[in-house]
Structure 1
Amino acid sequence: MSFVEKLSSSIAQGLGNRLDKNDEEIAVLNYGLFFIIHTTTALIATLLVGIVLNVLLEIMIISIVASSLKRYSGGVHSSTPNRCTLSGLILSTSLAFCTKYVSETFDYNRLLFFIVIILVLSIYIFYNKCPVPSKNKPLKNEKTRMKLRKKSLQLLSFYIVLSVILLIIYNINKIYLVKTILISVTLGVALQTFSISKLGDIGINIFEKIFDIVNLK
Structure 2
Amino acid sequence: MNGQMTVKGYSLHVIATAVGKWVSERSGQSHSATVLAYGADILFEALVKLVLLSIGSIMLGTTGIVAVVVFTASSFRLLTGGAHCTVYYRCLVSSLLIFLGLGSILQMTSPILLGWSEQVLLVPLVLSLYWIFRWAPVPPENKPLRNEKDRLARKRWAVALCLVVTAALYIAGTSRWWVWAVALGLSWQSFTLTPAGHTLLKGLDTLLTYPFLEGGEMKHEATDGSPR
What TM-score comes out, normalization by structure 1 length?
0.86
**What amino acid maps onto 1:127 in structure 2?**
F
Whole-Å separation in 2 of the counterparts to 1:181 and 1:47: 17
Match of 2:86 among 56, 76, 79: 79
Whole-Å separation in 2 of the counterparts to 1:78 and 1:115: 30
Structure 1 runs not aligned, ≥5 long: 171-177
Maintained 8 Å contact 1:83/1:216? no
- Structure 2 counterpart of 1:175: none
**What amino acid maps onto 1:206 in structure 2?**
G
Q: Deviations over 1:144-199 (max 9, x none)?
A: 2233223322322232123112217x3xxxxxxx1x11111110011101111111
Name the structure with the higher helix share. Answer: 1
Structure 2 runs not aligned, ≥5 long: 1-7, 215-228
- Structure 2 counterpart of 1:196: 193
Match of 1:19 among 10, 27, 30: 27
Higher RCO, Cα 8 Å, sep 6+: 2
Where do residues 1-217 of structure 1 align in structure 2 (5 Å cutoff)?
3-23=11-31, 25-106=32-113, 108-109=115-116, 112-167=118-173, 170=175, 178=176, 180-213=177-210, 215-217=212-214
Whole-Å separation in 1 of the counterparts to 2:127 and 2:64: 25
Maintained 8 Å contact 1:4/1:81? no
Q: Deviations over 1:75-119 (max 9, x none)?
A: 11211122112212211111112212321224634x545421111
Whole-Å separation in 2 of the counterparts to 1:189 and 1:75: 12
Whole-Å separation in 2 of the counterparts to 1:165 and 1:42: 33
Maintained 8 Å contact 1:63/1:188? yes
Whole-Å separation in 1 of the counterparts to 2:211 and 2:200: 17
- Structure 2 counterpart of 1:173: none
The DSSP-based 3-state class of the residue aligned with 2:209 is helix
Identity among equivalent positions (%) equals 22
* 1:107–1:150 distance in 2 versus 1, CA, 3 Å: closer
Which aligned segments of 4 or more residues in structure 1 are displaced greater than 6 angstroms?
none
* 1:147–1:30 distance in 2 versus 1, CA, 3 Å: farther
Maintained 8 Å contact 2:60/2:104? no
Maintained 8 Å contact 1:50/1:56? yes
What TM-score comes out, normalization by structure 2 length?
0.82
Q: State the aligned residue count.
A: 206
